[in-house]
Each structure stands twice: as C-alpha cells, then as structure tokens.
Amino acid sequence: MADKDQSDVSASQTNNPLTRKLNKILETRLDNDKDMLEALKALSTIFTENNLRSRRNLRSDIEKRSLAINEEFLQSFQAVKEQLDCVYSDVKEMNECCQDMTNRLKAAKDQTHDLISQTTTLHAESQKLQMKSQVADAFLSKFQLKSEEAKIIRGTRDGALHPEFFKALARVKQIHSDCKYLLRTNQQTAGLEIMESMALHQESAYERLYRWTQNECRTLTGDSPDVSIVLCDAMKALLDRPVLFKYSLDEFGTARRSAVVRGFIDALTRGGPGGTPRPIELHSHDPLRYVGDMLGWLHQAAASEKEHIQSLLKKCEVQESQIEDVLGHITEGVCRPFKVRVEQVLVSEQDAVTLYKLDNLLKFYHNTIRQIVNKEAALLSTLSEIQGLSHRMFFNSLTCNANKLLDRVELPPSDLGPTSSLTQSLQLLRDVLACHDASVVPIDDKKQDYKQILSCVVDPLIQMCSVSASRLNSIDMAAYMINGIYLIQSTLALYEFTDTRLEMLQAQIDAHVDTLISEQAAFVLNRVGLSSIYGTVQTHQTSQGPLSSLQGLDGITVKSAMNKFDSYLASPDSLVLPQCSLILSALVRDNMKRRAIDLICQAYKQMYEGIYNPQNEYREPQSIVPRTPDQVVKLLS
C-alpha cells in the first residue's frame, strides 16, 4: 500500500510542469545549443545583479527591452519608409515622364516614318555611290595617267628627259596592254578610247625619246665615249620600235665612224697625247713596223668599238649580227686611208723576204680581226684584198728572181760545186722559210704557201742547174747535179711540210748517183782490162762456141787482166773517178763507193763463173782466177 502511494507521488511529480521544465533544463547540454548560448550572452548584458527584484522583474525587463528595440526598429524603418516613398514618388514621376515620351515618340515616329524610309533609301544610295566612286577611282588609277606622268611624257621645251620618264612610259605601255581586257567586257567603247589615248601618248613619248637618243649619240665622238645609263635605258625602250632603234644605232655608228677616222689620221700624223706614242708615219721607211703599227691600231680600235657598242646595248637583247653590222659600218671609214698607204708600201718594196713578212703580218691580222667583225665587213674585205696583193707581189718577186737565174746561167765551177747564184737563191729560200716558220698563220695556209714557194724557187733552181750542166760530159754533169740538188735538199730538210719535195729531190739524186756508180764500175773494169772481157761474157751465147776460143778471151789475156785486177784489190782507192771525190755529201760518196763495189763484184762473179764453166774449155781456171767471188767481196768491203 505504501509502495503504491509512493509511486503515485512520483507520478504526480513527474506530471508537474515545473518539474518537467526543470528536468528539461537539467537535461539540456548548453555547450551544444548555440541559440541558448547566444541568449545567455545577451541576458548577461541586462541581468547585472542576481537578486530577488531582478529575478521577479526579469520578464518585464525583457519585454521592455524588446519593446524598446521594436520601437527603435520602427523609428528606423519609418525613415526607410519615408525614403522609399520618396523613391516611389520619383519612380512614378519618371514612369509618367517615360510614358509621355513614349507617346510623343510614337507620335513622332508616326509623323517621321516617311522621312526615315527616305533617309534609309538615301543612305543605301549613298553607299552605292561611294562604292561607284571607289570603283571609278580604281578604274582611273588603273587606266588613266596621273597629271605628273602626263607632264613627264610631254616633256619640256629643252628636250631633256625626266628621271621618271621611263617609268611613265612603262605605265603608258601597261595601260595600253590592260585595255585588251576591257575589250573583252561590256566596256569596249571605253577600252578603245583609252587605248587610242595611250597610243598617242606612246607615239609622242617614243618620238621625244628618239630625238633625245639621236642627239646623245651625235655627241659620242670622243676617243673614249662615256655611255650613260640613261642612254642604255633609252636604247632598251626603243627596242619596241625596231625602225627607231635601228636609226638610233646607225646614228651611233656614224658618230663613232667619224671618231675612228679622225683617231686613225691623228695616230698617223700626230701620235698620241703629248707625242707618245710617236706618229706612225715617222716609221714609213720601215715597211714592217709601219704596216704593223697601222694594223695594231686598227685591231685595237675594232676591239674598243665593239666594247662601246656592247656597253650601249648591254640592257638590250639583240643578235650578235646587229652588233657586227654596226661595227663593220664604224670601221669602214678607215679602209681607204689604210689601203692607200699599204698599197704604196707593197708596190715600192722589192725585197721578197720583206714582202713575205708583210704577207704573213697581213694574214695574221686578217685572222685576228675576223674574230671581232663579221665576214662581210668592209675592213675585213680590205684586209683580204691587201693581203692578196701582198701575196701576189711576193710571188712576183720570187718569179722575177727565178727568171733572172734562168736569164744569166753561170757555168759550173771547176770543183763542180754550187754556183754563187744557187747559193744566193738558197739563202733567199732559207730567209723566206724562216719567216714562214715564225708566222702564226693557220697550218692549212702554211702548207699551201710552202707548196707555192717551193714551186717558185726549187723548180727554177733545178732547171738552172740542168741548163748550167748542159755543156758538161755525163760524169761531170751527174756530179754537178748531185751537188746542186743535195744543197737544195739540205736546205729544205730543216723545214716542215717539205717531205714530198724531198722525196722528189732524192729520186733525182738517185738517178744521177746511178750514173756515177755505173761510170765508176766501168772505169775500174776498163783500167784493169776486164771491160771488154766482161762485155763479151755478158753477151756470150752457146752457139758462139766456148769463151776461150773467142778473140781476147784466151787464157793468157784473161790471166793478165786478172793480175791487174789483183793489183786493184790491193789498193781499191787508187782507181776512183775524180768526180766522185768532188761529191759534197759524204753519205752519197760512201753509198756510191759501196754500190760501185757491188757492181764490180757482180761483174767478177759472172766472169768467174764463165771461166770455171767447163763448156768454155779453160785449162786450169784456178790459175787464171785464183780468187773466189766471196774473197773479192771481203777484200773490197
């Protein structure tokens, strides 16, 4: 019963609100309740003293404080409200103003709609016009000359060229060329008009350029003309007008032609600047130097003038033939004074060597200058003509010398050696051939000259020797001809291109050597008494009977002749023709001696075989011819 009452009390306590609150407060963990902590912190600011009064008035104090805060908030919000009311009033006024403006704008838009549409249309048209203006400006800049360019093309009264003239001319040419594209479009009328205008500008510009170029070319008459860059540009521009280009080039050639003629005459009569080098005509007494100096001057002038032409046309693409034609015209002026002077030298000169040197000199410069000018140039034709004259004069001189030799033929000297005429003629030949070797003419020309020279000199010399020896006997004639031909052969052997002639001379020497060999062998056989015996042995026939029965071929006679032959074998040099000793060539003498001995040995062999032949009925042939042919060969070798 007591437990029951106790549980009832516990239950009533539990249901007591205050108890529950206390329990709740006691169960609360303040460190985790941030709101509670904040409330307590706020309460600590107003709950300063913990007394009964304070605890009793805590609620009213809180409420007062809350009321004061609300009043303060209300006052603050009242100020905000008043400001918001002002803002609202302003916004309302602004709204009314904007509404009014919107209405006015709407009314204005309704009133200006046509104006705006017209303005938009005008703006679009303005853009189109601006685009057309840009197109027109581009068209004009493309197809029209600027005023400065037109002024440059027209030029000034003094005829001088503006530095920008060639650019303006190139601009005109470009516009004229671009007009071709207009002709392919709908702007054909404009293209034709512009093309015609540019053609007029071009013709005017080329006419001015041609006159200026002609005046400039006329001034190039100095020894070393200064070809300006502007003149080179002018010649390049004139290439588009071939006729004007040719006329300008001819004007240049005419100016340089007069300058070259004047320079040549000055070089002949005045010499160089200050007298150095001296005038060429001071050496007119020396034909080689006189003609050589003139040829050297012409060669240098031709080379210099070609350089001047190339300098003038260095920016032009022209054919080499055009340059050579102008060069030929320039050098043509000096042909006549040069030709007259050289012809005087050639006609007055009589010495064949000098004429031949002049011929080689002219031939050399002809080949040298031919590399500078063309084949049709007057200078080259003049050189060829003069060289042909010198060639003829030279061979005329050689022919005159040959005719003199044949007109006054000398008798052979007692030693059968060469005559003074032969010696002099061979000296002349040596001098001529020496000049020929020293020349620098082409090999083909050298061969041809050698052939002609040898024909003009060698053939008359051999003929002169033959005429001179015509009164001699065969032996003397052979020796004399051998000596003369040998000297000619020795002279020719020192030079080239004479092989054919040397072979011909050797054949003639061999023919005369054969004569002397036969005479030498017959002389020996005759002296030893074997000549008649050998002749009979050679012609003997079996029908005539044995040799021993023939007259003069008996054993005693043959033995006596063989004894004399033995004496010859002991001293072969005792029986030598005097003419053989007069032969100048030791080689020919040795050859003659050897071949004569061969003939003698052959004759001895035939006689030996005839005597030893049993049919010829010689008794004891060994006693008649004790030596065999081999023994004779050994003794004579």
Question: Of the ranges 79-83, 143-147, 593-597, which one carries the lowest mean pLDDT score?
Answer: 143-147
**482-515: pLDDT as tens digits:** 999 999 998 888 888 788 888 999 999 999 999 9
Question: In the predicted model, is pLDDT for residue 138 greater than 60?
Answer: no
Q: Is residue 23 situated within a structural domain?
A: no
Question: In the predicted model, is pLDDT for residue 44 greater than 90?
Answer: no
Question: In the predicted model, is pLDDT for residue 452 greater than 50?
Answer: yes
Question: In the predicted model, is pLDDT for residue 375 greater than 80?
Answer: yes
Question: Of the ranges 135-139, 401-405, 422-426, which one carries the lowest mean pLDDT score?
Answer: 135-139
Query: What is the pLDDT at residue 340?
Result: 94
Query: Are 273 and 358 members of one domain?
Result: yes
Query: What is the pLDDT at residue 8?
Result: 55
Range of the domain at 549: 517-634
Confidence of residue 386 (pLDDT cuts 50, 70, 90): very high
pLDDT higher at 24 or 514: 514
pLDDT higher at 520 or 31: 520
Question: Of the ranges 189-193, 236-240, 603-607, which one carries the lowest mean pLDDT score?
Answer: 189-193
* DSSP annotation string for 331-348: HGGGHHHHHHHHHHHHHH
pLDDT higher at 58 or 128: 128
Query: Are 304 and 439 members of one domain?
Result: no
Query: Are 193 and 330 members of one domain?
Result: no
Q: Is residue 577 situated within a structural domain?
A: yes
Do 353 and 435 form a contact (C-beta atoms < 8 A)? yes
Those residues whose C-beta lies under 8 Å from the C-beta of residue 154, and which sit 6 or more positions away, are: 204
Query: Are 134 and 159 members of one domain?
Result: no
Those residues whose C-beta lies under 8 Å from the C-beta of residue 227, and which sit 6 or more positions away, are: 220, 308, 311, 312
**200-226: pLDDT as tens digits:** 777 778 888 888 888 888 888 887 888
Q: Is residue 51 situated within a structural domain?
A: no
User: Residue 560's CB: how many other CB atoms inside 10 A?
Assistant: 14
Query: What is the pLDDT at residue 337?
Result: 93
Residues 584-598 have a mean pLDDT of 89
Q: Is residue 337 situated within a structural domain?
A: yes
Question: In the predicted model, is pLDDT for residue 370 greater than 80?
Answer: yes
Indicate the residue among 141, 158, 193 that finishes a domain. 141
Query: What is the pLDDT at residue 183?
Result: 63
Question: In the predicted model, is pLDDT for residue 391 greater than 50?
Answer: yes
Indicate the residue among 467, 486, 512 that finishes a domain. 512
Task: State the DSSP H helix or E strand holding residue 38, giving kind and residue range, or none if neither.
Answer: helix 34-46
Q: Is residue 50 situated within a structural domain?
A: no
Q: Is residue 14 situated within a structural domain?
A: no
SS3 of 33, please?
coil
- Cα distances (angstroms) measured from residue 428 to each of 69, 348, 361, 540: 159, 19, 19, 56
Distance from C-alpha of 440 to C-alpha of 222, rounded to nearest angstrom: 34
Query: Are 249 and 366 members of one domain?
Result: yes
Question: In the predicted model, is pLDDT for residue 141 greater than 70?
Answer: no
User: What is the 3 state secondary structure string of 488-522?
Assistant: HHHHHCCCCCCHHHHHHHHHHHHHHHHHHHHHHHH
C-alpha R_g of the chain: 69
Query: Are 455 and 491 members of one domain?
Result: yes
Query: Are 566 and 469 members of one domain?
Result: no
pLDDT higher at 110 or 589: 589
Indicate the residue among 487, 512, 537 that finishes a domain. 512
Query: What is the pLDDT at residue 339?
Result: 93
Query: Are 364 and 314 members of one domain?
Result: yes
Burial class, 408, CB count within 10 angstroms (exposed 0-12 / middle 13-18 / buried 19+): exposed
Q: Is residue 495 situated within a structural domain?
A: yes
pLDDT higher at 592 or 55: 592
Query: What is the pLDDT at residue 150?
Result: 67
Question: In the predicted model, is pLDDT for residue 343 greater than 80?
Answer: yes
Query: What is the pLDDT at residue 12?
Result: 58
Residues 330-349 have a mean pLDDT of 92
Q: How many domains does the chain have?
A: 5
User: What's the mean per-residue pLDDT of the chain?
Assistant: 82
Q: Looking at mean pLDDT, say which of 107-111, 114-118, 366-370, 538-542 comes out highest.
A: 366-370
Distance from C-alpha of 544 to C-alpha of 535, rounded to nearest angstrom: 14
Query: What is the pLDDT at residue 299?
Result: 94
Query: Are 351 and 227 members of one domain?
Result: yes
Residues 350-368 have a mean pLDDT of 89
Residue percentage of the chain with pLDDT more than 90: 17
Query: What is the pLDDT at residue 173?
Result: 72
- Nearest 5 degrees, angle CA 75-CA 77-CA 82? 100
Q: Is residue 426 situated within a structural domain?
A: yes
Query: Are 341 and 421 members of one domain?
Result: no
Calculate helix-pair angle for 229-237, 165-182, nearest 10 degrees.
Answer: 20
Query: Are 137 and 180 members of one domain?
Result: no
Burial class, 303, CB count within 10 angstroms (exposed 0-12 / middle 13-18 / buried 19+): middle
Query: Are 521 and 508 members of one domain?
Result: no
Q: Which of 478, 482, 484 is nearest to 518 (CA)?
A: 478
Residues 563-592 have a mean pLDDT of 86
- Cα distances (angstroms) measured from residue 437 to each of 425, 434, 443: 18, 5, 10
